[in-house]
Amino acid sequence: MATPSTPPDPALGSVGPRIRALREERGLSLTALARLAGVGKATLSGLENGTRNPTLETLYAITAQLGVPLTAVLSGPAETPTVRGVSVGATLLEVFSDTDATYELYRMRVSPGPAQLSPAHQPGVTEHVTVFSGVLCAGPVDAPLTAGPGGYLRWNSDVPHSYAAVGDEQVRASLLLRYPRH
């Protein structure tokens, strides 16, 4: 979350209005969505009003409760929005769909240090990671997977999951999220 001294990121300026519109479409109050997503009401209000920068963890928690992919609240790939969490920076490269699912493709960097915990996504969502450099430990919190350069990881991400760089080298990878259509 942004601190008071961190100015809002202009590239993320449309996130708040999109969250508000999706929340209102679903007939949810600010309080109800904040409670469901496990975020503070002041945090959600700040996001909707554009006075706070969202973290990756917060956006995933909110979009999971709204039942939409992350890109439903981000700007398009042309603006290359990058969202950051505790240790992960993810830049949206492409969104595409077929009859069965919507896919989001990201360039991802995982910095050495603490693991990043991501909340569960909607049922049926899967994550696919290809590691280009570094060693990544990622996947369900209770059964993480590890891969190095050239390695591939896949897991069902409808459970809490984490990302951590193993060692002192930053991990560079691609992340593909698959959101099934219901």
Q: Where are the domains of the chain?
A: 10-72, 85-180
Cβ atoms within 10 Å of 93's Cβ, excluding its own: 14
- Residue found by looking up tokens 């007939």 in the block: 27
User: Length of the chain in residues, anyone?
Assistant: 182
User: Is residue 139 within 8 Å of 155, Cβ to Cβ?
Assistant: yes
Which residues 6+ apart lie within 8 Å of 141 measured at CB?
117, 159, 160, 161, 162
User: Is residue 90 within 8 Å of 106, Cβ to Cβ?
Assistant: yes
Q: DSSP label at 54?
A: P
pLDDT of residue 181: 85
Q: What is the mean pLDDT of each run of 10 residues along the chain (182 residues)?
A: 44 77 88 91 89 82 84 62 82 88 92 92 94 97 96 95 96 95 78
Give domain 10-72's CATH architecture: Orthogonal Bundle (1.10)
pLDDT of residue 12: 57
Give domain 85-180's CATH architecture: Sandwich (2.60)
pLDDT of residue 75: 59
Cβ atoms within 10 Å of 97's Cβ, excluding its own: 11
